[in-house]
Amino acid sequence: MEQPIKQLTNKFNELYIQTRSKYLVQFPEGKYVTLSYAPDNRVAKFNDSMVPTHLKGDLTYGIFSGGPFSKFITFDVDCAKESLSKWITLKLVYTLETEYAINRKDIHVSYSGNKGYHVDLFFNEQVRVEDLREFFKSVLIEVGDIPEGEIEFRPSWTQGVKLPLGVHQQTGNRCWYVDNYTLEPIESYEYILGIKPMSATLITDTDFGLTDEQIKEFEKVASSTDITVNAVDLSGALQRARKIIETGRLMQSGTRHKTTFTLACFGNSQGWEEEEAVGVIMDILLATPRNYFSEGSTPEYWRKEAERLVGYVFKNDITVKESDQSLTIYKSEILAVLGCGTFRQKQLAYAMLITSKRYGNIFYLTINTAMKMIGTKSRPTVVTAIKKLIECGFIEYHRKAEVDRARSLETGQVRYKPNKYKLAFECNQDEEKSVEVSAEKGMVEVALMLCDIKEIREFVKRREFEGRWQAHTG
């Protein structure tokens, strides 16, 4: 056996070894014995000379957490049949990648030597075992039912885990790391040398291990609820949010976690309050057929996760990324906007038009968001504007004043779900004049691009024209 023993020993120390006073030994008959060092006994502490012994296969060692802290977590997959263990392991890896956004390169799988697999995540600092166990429980709910087997949590101070790359003393099988797509063995001692611990914020900040690319996808857009921000966002996150909101439920099974995070970012982009964002998320989850969720997944758990993720997103001001792609405004649309009463009411109509083009014909709009859109701190101003837009046929309610029964029971006060709206006017787009709108263009500029002054004056009173429009007609 040729391998850089010193490098391998150092890597085991970096990734796995957390206490030297307590460890496991597997003897040739397969039995595990826990050894604990004390000044008055003859048990040796775990030391570097034991790593070569482990790699040679003479004895096999296992380790425990460092008391209440650990720098890694192991999902110990153990099923009655190896074929079933493979299926569950691949499902677990897929769940970690898709539901918790953990990069595949940070998910390390090794063969247990018998019928199971160990799935390891390594962290760049110590994490409380209690927090790791909560994360473990969350993942198991997403994985769902496991027939004829189980996934166990490791390590803790009372439950150790066998180190990889040794030999299972009962079966004689080498415990290689395996490819996390195919589970084919990687028959090399070099693999472990390339492992780099991931950020502990996966657990400590409930960051769920977003990659750099995903963080960029959700970066803050300055003034994203401002009516002058007109660029369509065609990122995957925005498209998912749009479809989910329009449909009113999950689009696929096994996407609760991703949907919750996406809608939290979307809500923050829209200027929702945290409670409103949680309400929208729960509204969608509760409208989704129960067979879309893993067995054991409950509405109480969904709300807890929604509150946690929404809190994280709002605290860190994560929003949906703006795209450079423009959108098309038609002349009949801007004329419909101009026919909506006062300048503030026109502003809100234009903001709703843009919102519908960004996020779909059916969209949420809270009073707080609308206040930001038209630059007012007056709720009555917004309420009056919405009534006006409905009266003049610009929008209509898709859902109005629906009581959130679950939230009302929880708080002891009547709570309402956010209203949903959709555009109500006809737009004739056939050979109609249109303009491509970019982020720096606002309502006045767009109107002047599509209409002449005479057309605008038909909809705008003299005082409004002189105060709001004339300066732009230069």
User: pLDDT of the chain along its 474 residues, tens only?
Assistant: 445 888 999 999 999 998 888 999 988 776 889 999 888 888 888 999 999 999 998 899 999 998 888 999 999 999 888 889 999 999 999 989 888 878 899 999 999 998 899 999 999 888 888 889 888 988 887 887 777 888 999 999 999 999 999 999 989 999 999 999 999 999 988 899 999 999 887 676 543 333 344 333 333 222 222 222 222 233 455 666 666 776 777 766 667 777 788 788 888 877 778 888 888 888 888 888 877 776 667 888 888 888 888 887 888 777 765 545 578 889 999 999 999 988 889 988 988 888 777 666 777 777 777 887 777 888 888 889 899 999 999 998 887 777 766 556 666 777 677 777 888 887 766 678 888 886 567 888 889 999 988 888 888 888 888 888 877 676
Which pair of tokens denotes residue 165?
């790359």
* Residue 52: count of CB within 10 angstroms of its CB: 15
Q: Can you tell me the distance from the alpha carbon of 450 to that of 452, in angstroms, rounded to the nearest whole number?
A: 7
Q: Can you tell me the distance from the alpha carbon of 215 to that of 319, in angstroms, rounded to the nearest whole number?
A: 10
Burial class (CB in 10 A: 0-12, 13-18, 19+), 419: middle
Q: Specify the pLDDT at position 68.
A: 84
Burial class (CB in 10 A: 0-12, 13-18, 19+), 281: buried
Q: Can you tell me the distance from the alpha carbon of 121 to that of 154, in angstroms, rounded to the nearest whole number?
A: 11
Sequence-separated (6 or more) residues with CB below 8 Å from residue 207: 199, 201, 312
Is residue 176 helix, strand or coil? Answer: coil
Contact 96, 139 (CB under 8 A): yes
* Residue 399: count of CB within 10 angstroms of its CB: 16
Q: Specify the pLDDT at position 208.
A: 35
Q: Specify the pLDDT at position 260.
A: 84
Global pTM reads: 0.49
**For 468, which DSSP code?**
I
Contact 269, 222 (CB under 8 A): no
Q: Is 148 left (phi over 0), alpha (psi -120 to 50) or beta?
A: left
Sign, CA dihedral 316-210-204-252, equals positive
Sequence-separated (6 or more) residues with CB below 8 Å from residue 208: 100, 101, 102, 202, 257, 261
Q: Which of 349, 352, 331, 356 is nearest to 389 (CA)?
A: 349
User: What beta strand segments (E) does 155-208 contain?
Assistant: 161-162, 177-178
Contact 305, 264 (CB under 8 A): no
Is residue 435 helix, strand or coil? Answer: strand
Q: Which residues of 341-357 are buried (b: 16+ CB within 10 A; e: fewer)?
A: bebbbbbbbbbbbbbbb
35 φ, ψ (degrees, to nearest 5): -115, 135
Contact 176, 111 (CB under 8 A): yes
Q: Specify the pLDDT at position 164.
A: 96
Q: Is 402 left (phi over 0), alpha (psi -120 to 50) or beta?
A: beta
Q: Can you tell me the distance from the alpha carbon of 74 to that of 92, in angstroms, rounded to the nearest whole number?
A: 12
Q: Can you tell me the distance from the alpha carbon of 129 to that of 67, in angstroms, rounded to the nearest whole number?
A: 8
DSSP string, 278-305: HHHHHHHHHTS-GGGS-TT--HHHHHHH
Q: Which of 381, 260, 373, 239 is nearest to 312 (CA)?
A: 260
Q: Can you tell me the distance from the alpha carbon of 110 to that of 165, in angstroms, rounded to the nearest whole number?
A: 8
Which pair of tokens denotes residue 25?
């030994």
Q: Specify the pLDDT at position 352.
A: 86
